[in-house]
Amino acid sequence: MPIGAAVMAASYIRITEMCVGRANAELKKQHMPGKRTDACADAKRSDMHHRNVCWKGKCGTITKRKIMEFRPCIDIHNGKVKQIVGGSLKDQGGQALENFVSQQDAAFYARLYRSAGIRGGHIILLNGADSPHFEATRQQAFEALAAYPGGLQVGGGIHGGNAREYLDAGAAQVIVTSYVFHDGRVDYGRLEELAAIVGRERLVLDLSCRKIEGEYRIVTDRWQKATREVLTDQLLDRLAGYCCEFLVHGVDVEGKSGGIDRGLAALLGEWGRLPVTYAGGVHSYEDLRLLKRLGHDRLHVTVGSALDLFGGDMAWERVLEICKEKG
């Protein structure tokens, strides 16, 4: 729930100071100068690329290594960083049920994640391109990418005509859903086209879903439309040839802080052939440990409304620690 401005300001200052101190200590440990060089940044991006691609893909192997990571989010709606209740988004009037509206801009969170050395978080634009608020939301996204080049993914309205623009602006990968669906099915022609434009290693597919009649059906258009595609091992296997990662929100539990979708987490954890980030319902450290077990300690995780950065009770530093615990 929202907290007072003074408390938020003190919390931001404390968190930023701790992040900068940690980053400086790490730089000294590596015998590096206090300021990151371009070579250092390039090396980090290369390492991220290797971890993503070599899970399966180009190395031709499937690894079962356990690498649960915290993947933070920067959700932008009507030009502001927010946490919203999943499924409450309405394009008409830019409406959504809000859990939290930040006093800070998107670049603030990007700098925070960069200082803490947290990579692979995602920026999501929650306004459609025809929204009067879209340009403000888009500008926030570009400012965040500039603040952490090569460290964040971006999604929301990405298509073949604008994907390169976001990559050139500093995105590590682009996240795509609606563009590669047509008439409720995956449009493999568009998917092949997009993979050719950006490269498989820079494409993340968002397969967020709802449980409908006992099946996890993929939803598009900011979760407002249910497709006919069901999330199965077979579908994941086929789509894995076009991308480097999957992002999956459990829309039924997203933003409600009422616990994770256990069935969805187990399905994704059992598959385990590409990196997968699970989001939705994490509201306690017990939820986080449950996700580690159900996901065989290889699902990445996003924590939104429950995180202290967004007015919740879960300390982001403790989340990092639990992600690194042995399963």
DSSP 156-173: SS--TTTHHHHHHTT-SE
User: How high is the pLDDT of residue 221?
Assistant: 86
Strand boundaries in the chain, DSSP class E:
73-77, 80-84, 98-101, 121-125, 152-155, 173-176, 181-182, 185-186, 203-206, 209-212, 215-220, 225-230, 245-249, 276-279, 300-302
User: How high is the pLDDT of residue 255?
Assistant: 74
User: How high is the pLDDT of residue 15?
Assistant: 53
pTM score:
0.81
Asked if 318 and 287 touch (Cβ cutoff 8 Å), the reply is no
Spell out the per-residue pLDDT of the chain, length 327, in tens. 444 444 344 445 555 455 445 444 443 443 333 333 343 344 344 344 444 444 443 333 444 456 899 999 999 999 999 998 755 655 555 567 888 999 999 999 999 999 999 999 999 999 989 999 999 999 999 999 999 999 999 999 999 999 999 999 999 999 999 999 999 999 999 999 999 999 999 999 999 999 999 999 999 987 889 999 999 999 999 999 999 999 999 999 987 778 999 999 999 999 989 999 999 999 999 999 999 999 999 999 999 999 999 999 999 999 999 999 886
DSSP 117-184: T---EEEEE-S-TTSTTHHHHHHHHHHHHHHSTTTEEEESS--TTTHHHHHHTT-SEEEESGGGEETT
Other C-beta atoms closer than 10 Å to the C-beta of 155 total: 22
Q: Which residues contact 272 (CB under 8 A, 6 or more apart)?
A: 64, 296, 298
Structural domains of the chain ordered from first start: 5-324 (3.20.20.70)
